[in-house]
Amino acid sequence: MATYKGINGFAVQSVASDPSPLDEGQVWYNNATYAFKLAAVTTVGAWASGGNLGTARRGLAGAGTQTSGLATGGENTSSTPVTATEEYNGTSWSGGGNLTTARRNLAGAGTQTAALAFAGGPPATGTTEEYDGTSWSPGGTMGTARYGLSGAGTQTAGLAFGGGPPATPGLTNTEEYDGSSWTSGGSMTNGRSYFAGCGTQTAALAIGRHSPEVATTEAYNGTSWTAAGSLNNAVGIQAAAGIQTAALSFGGFRGGANTAQTELYNGTSWTTNPTGMATARRGLGGVGTQNLALGFGGYTTAQVANTEEFTGPGSPVTQTITTS
């Protein structure tokens, strides 16, 4: 009779905790939970609960990844703009250095230890701050004061686009950051505010829009914006993660109500994920990649603190082997 060792050349390992990262087909015995486990591949993307923010808020900015995320600014449950910054380690949030200027509906870019926070309000501001993993310091002021915009890129190669005022339909202009100052970039075809963005300074996406919600997407090549594939459902005030050729749009507001919808982009077209977020919300923050994204905060009937983690289709996930 063939054995696992005979087929694979090694025996099933006995470990005290599940391994990470996972390889498809990997089998092990978890001696802490007394269970055999398998690394299987997901067929659809799925959301799972993460640790709650310390401060419930909406209209906040994000930066970083699913296991090294940053949340900053926003509006708390008293509808007051805040300076609070929190850092995520893949399990829980902890306090970071506070912004110098309290604001909501701002944008962010970069990583947990080298982030940008820019614009926001009220009133509309062009203030930029840079984060070093401990504290925020002043950066170059934007050419156009605004709020409800989106951002992409890094601390030394950032991108800001859209926003207001006016809030409807929003601004078209783009600005590029070089680590010290902002300069004008190409204008979007459509004015947008309260929408999602992701990518890099030379390969970004602008997704959806609020009031009225739209499904249109535009792609930036470092010089100009062009039409890209449209969402399956019009949405605004949502979050996004990923890059121009592998993006994720999630949550938001459409049809007069909050939504949990999640869509994936392959550089050409959007596909609706069969399962959405557990909590329908708008004004949330989002960071990470298409396959490993993080959604946090936002608004349901009040500001919320809950966090959700997305694992995209085709990713290895842990499953318990049973006899049934």
pLDDT tens string 142-175 = 999 999 999 999 999 999 999 999 989 999 999 9
- Whether residue 298 has pLDDT greater than 80: yes
**How many of the other CB atoms lie within 10 Å of CB of 280?**
16
Structure-block tokens of residue 155? 């601390």
Residue 316 falls inside a structural domain: no
Helix residue spans in 121-263 (DSSP H):
none
Residue 24 lies in a domain: yes
Mean pLDDT of 183-209: 98
Tell me the CA end-to-end span of the chain in Å, nearest whole number.
Answer: 22
Query: 220-270, pLDDT tens digit by residue?
Result: 999 999 999 999 999 999 999 999 999 999 999 999 999 999 999 999 999
Residues 227, 87 share a domain: yes
- Averaged over 282-297, what is the pLDDT? 98
CB 125 within 8 A of CB 145: yes
Number of domains in the chain: 2
Q: Note whether residue 319 is domain-resident.
A: no
User: CA–CA separation, 205 vs 60, rounded Å?
Assistant: 19
What's the mean pLDDT in 58-78? 98
Q: Is residue 137 part of a domain?
A: yes
- Same domain? 182 vs 285: yes
| 16 and 107 share one domain | no
Asked whether residue 112 carries a pLDDT value surpassing 90, the answer given is yes
320 domain-assigned: no
CATH number of domain containing 131: 2.120.10.80
Q: What is the pLDDT of residue 10?
A: 59
Q: Give the pLDDT confidence score for residue 213 in this predicted structure.
A: 97
71-90: average pLDDT: 98
pLDDT band at 317 (very low <50, low <70, confident <90, very high): confident
User: 116 and 167: one domain?
Assistant: yes
Domain that holds residue 53: 46-311
Tell me the average pLDDT of the chain: 94
In the block, residue with structure tokens 């869509």: 263
pLDDT at 4 over 80: no
